Amino acid sequence: MDCLIAAVAVRHKAVLIHKDVDYVRIAEVVPELRAEAVFDS
């Protein structure tokens, strides 16, 4: 499901705001994915 959400974000040139390390990994191989992590500190 993460890949589908990432694909929609890329297609629409949207920033994906997340708390999921999987999106960090996807962004490493898909440079078009604009992902912003909001992990708690």
Q: What is the pLDDT of residue 41?
A: 65
What confidence category does residue 40 fall into, taking pLDDT thresholds of 50, 70 and 90?
confident
The more confidently predicted of residues 34 and 40 is: 34
pTM for this predicted structure: 0.87
**What whole-number distance in Å separates Cα of residue 36 and Cα of residue 41?**
15
Q: How many CB atoms lie within 10 A of CB 10?
A: 18
Provide the domain limits for residue 29: 2-37
Average pLDDT value for residue range 4-30: 97
Average pLDDT value for residue range 28-35: 98
The per-type count for the chain, helices as H runs and strands as E runs, is 2, 2
Number of structural domains found in the chain: 1
**What whole-number distance in Å separates Cα of residue 41 and Cα of residue 30?**
26
Average pLDDT value for residue range 6-27: 97
